[in-house]
Structure 1
Amino acid sequence: MGVDFTVFKGSASGEIVEATGHRDPGPTEVIVKVSHCGVCGTDEHYRHVDQGLGHEGIGVITEVGSMVHAVSEFRVGDRVGMSWFHKFCGHCDACLTGRQNQCANKTEFGTADLDQGCFGTAVAWDISALFKIPEEIASEYAGPLMCGGATVWAPLADYGLKPGSRVGVLGVGGLGHLAIQFAAKMGMEVVVFSGTESKRQQALELGASEFYATSAGSLEEVEKIHALLITTSVAPDMKSFFPVMALGALVFPLTISMEHLKVSPLDLVIYGLKIVGSATAPTASTRAMLRFAGKQGIKPIIEKFPLTQAGVVNAMTKLREGKMRYRGVLVAA
């Protein structure tokens, strides 16, 4: 049967264009009718490319491929989420050791399936990269968790941090406001750094233990932290943070940026820092993130837009201008 779909794509001029397509599900694929999709900053990187946009999709399965019932528990009617990754091979070293996000043979947003995207009415998706959404999470809040939530969860859950660890979060935005909530609910001391005092109250309400405005001067009096999650849209001056980093502290640059993070080999030696590249989370970790968010009531602060051409344009413009508070979500009629 398959599905005819509408999708909103980028273009060489940067304009958002409407296109149509058709997909039949492969043996291990399902057809998902999209109801919601988060608007991620990374979508902006592909606005000038002829491809379907959107990679924080939520929807309901309407059709399954011939092998789906034999190899998975996914069924028609399940509410599911899709993220950056479209398919994992299941047999490379990364997959076999639970690091599917580093799969050698993965297909993903920006390099495969360019005809479709979650800024659309429906997609065909492989079950290896599909996630059931817990009942406790409303669809409008689930979308931003699929990429934004998984991005901040992985450093907190997969790199040895534990309750009582002092975790720095730089920036209170689309990623930062989720990182604060997750770290606080995981029992960590959340130390928030922001440019000004304007977001102090909100950071504390989200679960921050401490808040420091970086424009106020030196941070040398801050008790040392065990990790720093960089969630700002621009790379920070790392020298200002060296005095507050515990020996062997982890640094996670989480915003996709082409800017250089200026750290010298001598800085690494003196402070014993570990800079960790982390992109979303492996399969089991993403499942754990969704369960945790549902049980703990963690949800993004969102602004809604219609899942239409005009809605996509408005949402992406607001995000580009830095006016989104804090995650945009497209909602199908």
Structure 2
Amino acid sequence: MTTTVAAYAAPSAKAPLERTTIERREVGECDVLIDIKFTGICHSDIHQARDGWSEGIFPMVPGHEITGLVEAVGSGVTKFAVGDRVGVGCLIDSCRECENCEAGLEQYCHKGPIGTYNALDKNGEPAYGGYSEKIVVDENYTFRIPDGLSLDVAAPLLCAGITTYSPLKHWNAGPGKKVAIVGMGGLGHMGVKIAHALGAEVTVLSQSLRKKEDGLKLGASHYYATSDEATFTELRGTFDIILSTVSAPLNLDVYLSLLKTDGAFLNVGGPEEPVALNLFSVMAGRKTLAGSGIGGIPETQEMLDFCAEHGLGAEIELISASEINDAYERVLASDVRYRFVIDTATI
């Protein structure tokens, strides 16, 4: 039988989110029913609820930073039991057959991964996210939350954590490497924590010095304002890796000038507008301009275990569901330190 649960949804593009009810599917043989406790608010929720990236599927229940407790399991489930602490991230399924899926890179599934929301599942039904009381997910796309992480600070790791962890690991951030994190927000603050825990020397590049004290406390050794033109002169040729977490278009040419020879500029922010690039900026110094999208299932569990080992939860502001629309505006105004998390008991 399906289950009716309360949720917050955007009824149409750019419309305020409102309380409603949705149907969750019957728990199948390999499914887990999760009683959601906390859901993070990601900037991508705003992009999608407001048709910023592409035309969305409405009504839309956002939310892909989900933690909770297993309430029921299907007859074939082997990885989880009732009462387990679990999480759900940005995807809930993939083809499971292509080269990338077999390699644990489900986020790059050749047939397209199925997002936790604003997507159609394999039955052609809309997928609804974590701004809701419960969710049903295949056990293979569900994560174990280590005991060392509380569920509230663990929720943003399911997007902000893996989105920064994956490229930092892939491009070998670690001892002897100088890493710059562009943007000190929901993604950026986790990038600082993770890069520092990996052993890199971390610099924050932010519009102003307003959050400098926070950045240094979270693991940065240096903090510069990008609004100061002298920053780009002083830091020219400094970094092995620059990880950009901002969703606004940047002047890529000036940022690429901050890389060493063979340095890499990694983009995980998703601007709604196209950006310009002079190719000589990458040709001079054999530099790499790359992007990265979340992480696969094995790597996401690896990230959770890493964060638990190093005590890396997100810095959060816990809110009630009635505050979601205000939180969206505050995210756009950069008025959050550093991730809003919804207490789903208030839905």
Common fold by TM > 0.5: yes
Q: 3-state DSSP class of the match of 2:291?
A: coil
Could you say which residue in structure 1 is the equivalent of 2:118? Answer: 110
Contact 1:7 1:116 in 2 (8 A): no
> Gaps (5+ residues) in structure 1?
none
Whether 2:146 is the aligned partner of 1:134: answer yes
Aligned residues: 328
Tell me by how many angstroms 1:51 deviates.
1.9
Q: Percent identity, aligned pairs only?
A: 27
TM-score (norm 1): 0.93
- Residue in 2 that maps onto 1:213: 225
**Aligned residue type for 2:274:** H
Tell whether 2:102 aligns with 1:96: yes
Shift of residue 115 of structure 1? 5.1
Q: Give deviations 1:285-315, integer Å, cap 9, x for gaps.
A: 1111111111111121111112x3x232232
Matches within 5 A, 1:187-226: 187-218=199-230, 219-222=232-235, 224-226=238-240
Q: Point out where structure 2 has 5 or more consecutive residues left out of the alignment.
A: 51-57
2:299 aligned with 1:320: no
Distance (Å, rounded) in 2 between the aligned partners of 1:41 and 1:214: 21
Q: 2:82 aligns with which of 64, 76, 80?
A: 76
**TM-score for the superposition, normalised by structure 2:** 0.89
Give the AA of the match of 1:91: E
Aligned to 2:227, the other structure's residue is in SS state helix
1:220 partner amino acid: T
Tell whether the 8 Å contact from 2:185 to 2:334 is kept in structure 1 after alignment. no
CA distance in 2, matches of 1:317, 1:200: 23
Which deviates more from structure 2 when the two are superposed, residues 206-215 or residues 137-146? 206-215
1:249 aligns with 2:257: no
Contact 1:21/1:115, CA 8 A, preserved across alignment: no
CA RMSD of superposed structures (Å) = 1.7
CA separation of 1:304 and 1:247: change in aligned 2, threshold 3 A: same
Counterparts of 1:22 and 1:198, CA distance in 2: 43
SS in 2 for 1:208: coil
Amino acid at match of 1:20: I
Structure 1 contact 32–124 (Cα < 8 Å) conserved: yes
- The 5-angstrom pairing of residues 1-333 of structure 1 reads 3-12=3-12, 14-17=15-18, 18-48=20-50, 49-69=58-78, 73-105=79-111, 106-108=113-115, 109-113=117-121, 114=126, 116-218=128-230, 219-222=232-235, 224-306=238-320, 308=321, 310-333=322-345
Distance 2:140 2:149 in 1: 21
